[in-house]
Amino acid sequence: MVSVGVLSEAFCLVLEQEAGSVSEASLEVITELYGRVGRQGRPLVGIGCGEQPTAEFALLGEYGLDLVLLFPVPAGWATVLRRRMKTYLDRQWPPVLVAPATLWGEEVVLGLASELDVPAFSNCMQLETVENGAVRVERLFYEEKIAVRYTLAPGSPLLATLAVGLTNVRRRRPGHRAEVVCVPDTGRLPADPVTVLGRIKADPRTMDLEEADVIVCGGRGLGSAENFALLAKLADMLGAAVGGTRVARDNGWITAERQIGQTGKVVKPELLLSFGVSGATQHTIGLRDSRRIVAVNKDKNAPMMKLADVAIVADAREVIVELIRRLEAAGAGLGRRAARQN
């Protein structure tokens, strides 16, 4: 059992939450820190947003967290979280407080640093503890040409964000569970003067495929440029981006920057609809991280079908035509408008 009292010697990290779960970037930071902390024997504490001690937070123990502190703040409200953290941690400030170098992590850490008047180091490449227990961070300067290593003086707190996309996430302690503690609500905070009016979704037709949330992807099975035009129409109605395989590119059905695969773009959409794609490894490795895949293909044994959450054995063109008809019946282009507004 770890108690909240360990905070004064703990490594703390601010967890980023995306769509209700802890983001990959946060897991990377846990993995990165666990390797360092493991040697020093210091506990690793995560700071998250939530009302209930859910199992998901306890499961972070597998990656190396010992304790999770949950603040009753809606996920994504960096300003509120950092005010709550400041009140709560004032008595026992942790020697190390880091976050993933994302929009969220930056707002929490840099905001805290400016309020506390301590230095903050954003986008650090590395964090390590040296012989005498002092903490050292490494940052790159001058367009990544020069590295500066800062060793903190004893007693100085470290606030930093760690660069993401560098560490392979690992479950180093299978079966281990973190203790989850809910921090009580400490009363009302003054209202944030900045009001959020809404969000505008990126235009899928022009955005980088790597950033798209929904992708419709076509391959050899679609067979012609006309069918790709249909695919583009479907994409437009769904607010999706169009991607394709190498065959599609060779035939001029898509342009090079729309090719998915190892020699094209590596994508990670929430939903990928794949039409007439057989699934050569070169292509499928490029969509390994898609959350949900629906594949439509005539050949049931195509490798793509084995990677799909829903595999549909049918003629791709027919399915596209039918889908367009249904979407039109449900209100033409509604999907797109809905996407723009939410």
Partner 1 sequence: MMFPRLFTPLTIKGVTIRNRIIATGHLTHFASTDGLVTQRLIDYHVARAKGGIGLIITESMAIHPSTAQSQYTIRLYDRQVLPGLRELTSQIKAYGAAVFCQLHHMGREMTSVDTMRPVVAPSALMDPLKREVPHELSKAEIRELVEAYATCTAHAREAGYDGVEVHCAHGYLIQEFLSPLTNHREDEYGGSFEGRLRFAREVIRAVKGAAGQMVVGIRIDGDEFVDGGLSLEDVQEIVVALVAEGLDYVGLSVGHDLNYPPIFPSMDFPLGCFVYLASAIKRLVDVPVYTSHRINDPALAERILEEGHADLVAMTRATLADPELPNKAKEGDVDGIRPCVGCLQRCFHRLRLRAPISCLGNPAVGREREFAPLPASQPRKVAVVGGGPAGLEAARVLALRRHHVVLFEQEEELGGMLRLAARVPHRDELMGIARWQILQLKRLGVEVRLGQRASAKDLAPFDAVVLATGAEYGPPSLVVSEQVPHYNTLEALELGEAEVAGKTILVVDRDYHNKALGLAERLAQMGAQVVVATEEAEVGVDLDLVNKMMIWERLRELGVKSISKARFEGANGEDVLVVHEGWERVLRGVGAVVVVDKPKANTLLAREMESQFPEKAVYLAGNCAAPRLTPEAIFDGYRIALEI
Partner 2 sequence: MLAVVLLKKAVFLSESALRPQPVQGLLATRRPFIGAHDLAALHHALSLREQAAVSRVAAITAGGSEADVILCQAYALGADEVFRVPWEGDAGLTDASPVGRVLAGVLAGLPAGVVFCGHLSPDSGRGLVPYVVAQSLGWPLVTRAVKVQMTPDLPHLRIHRDVGRGNREVVECPLPAVVTAVRYPSGWRYPKCARLLAFRRRNVPTLSPPSSPGMPSEKRWLADMEMTRARPRPKKIFTPDENLSAAERMKMIVSGGLKAKKGKVVDGSGADAASKVYEVLVECGYAPK
Q: Which are the contacts of 11, defined by CB distance < 8 A and separation ≥ 6?
A: 33, 36, 37, 42, 43, 44, 45, 94, 95, 96, 98
**What is the smallest separation between the CB atom of 85 and partner 2, expressed in angstroms?**
15
**What is the smallest separation between the CB atom of 341 and partner 2, expressed in angstroms?**
11
Residue 337 within binding range of partner 2, rule CB under 8 A = no
What 8-state DSSP symbol labels residue 120? E
Site mask, partner 2, residues 272-301, x = CB under 8 A?
Answer: -x-------x--xx--x---xxx-x---x-
- Binding segment (CB under 8 A) for partner 2, from list 8-16, 61-69, 223-231, 331-339: 331-339
Residue 128 within binding range of partner 2, rule CB under 8 A = no
Contact residue for partner 2 among 120, 127, 232, 302 (CB under 8 A)? 120
What gap in Å lies between CA 20 and CA 75, rounded to an integer? 8
Please say which residue, 159 or 302, places its beta carbon nearer to partner 1: 302
**What is the smallest separation between the CB atom of 3 and partner 2, expressed in angstroms?**
28
CA–CA distances in Å: residue 247 to residues 5, 25, 312, 314, 316: 60, 34, 21, 20, 16
- Residues that contact partner 2, how many (by CB under 8 A): 100
Please say which residue, 156 or 282, places its beta carbon nearer to partner 1: 282
Using CB under 8 A as the criterion, which residues of the chain lie in contact with partner 1 when the complex forms? Answer: 247, 250, 262-264, 278, 280-282, 285, 300-301, 303
Residue 19 within binding range of partner 2, rule CB under 8 A = no
Whether the CB-CB separation of 67 and 50 falls below 8 Å is answered with no
17-18/21-22 β-pairing? antiparallel
| Cβ neighbours of 163 (radius 10 Å) | 20
Residue 51 within binding range of partner 2, rule CB under 8 A = no
**What is the smallest separation between the CB atom of 257 and partner 1, expressed in angstroms?**
11
- Binding segment (CB under 8 A) for partner 2, from list 67-75, 103-111, 183-191, 223-231: 103-111
Name which of partner 1, partner 2, none residue 189 binds, using a CB cut-off of 5 to 8 Å depending on partner kind. Answer: none
Please say which residue, 257 or 318, places its beta carbon nearer to partner 1: 257
CA atoms within 13 A on the CB side of 36: 23
Name which of partner 2, partner 1, none residue 203 binds, using a CB cut-off of 5 to 8 Å depending on partner kind. Answer: partner 2
Site mask, partner 2, residues 177-196, x = CB under 8 A?
Answer: ---------------xxxxx
**What is the smallest separation between the CB atom of 90 and partner 2, expressed in angstroms?**
16
**What is the smallest separation between the CB atom of 101 and partner 1, expressed in angstroms?**
16
Token output for 268: 């990670």
Please say which residue, 130 or 285, places its beta carbon nearer to partner 1: 285
Q: Residue written as tokens 């203790």?
A: 179
CA atoms within 13 A on the CB side of 76: 5
**What is the smallest separation between the CB atom of 289 and partner 2, expressed in angstroms?**
10
b/e map of 62-84 (b: 16 or more CB within 10 Å)?
bbbbbbbbbbbbebebbebbbbb
What type of residue sits at position 118?
V
**What is the smallest separation between the CB atom of 2 and partner 2, expressed in angstroms?**
25
Residue 257 within binding range of partner 2, rule CB under 8 A = no
What gap in Å lies between CA 342 and CA 334, rounded to an integer? 12
* Cα-Cα-Cα-Cα dihedral sign, residues 264, 266, 271, 275: positive
Please say which residue, 58 or 321, places its beta carbon nearer to partner 2: 321
* Residues paired with residue 161 on neighbouring β-strands, in sequence order: 99
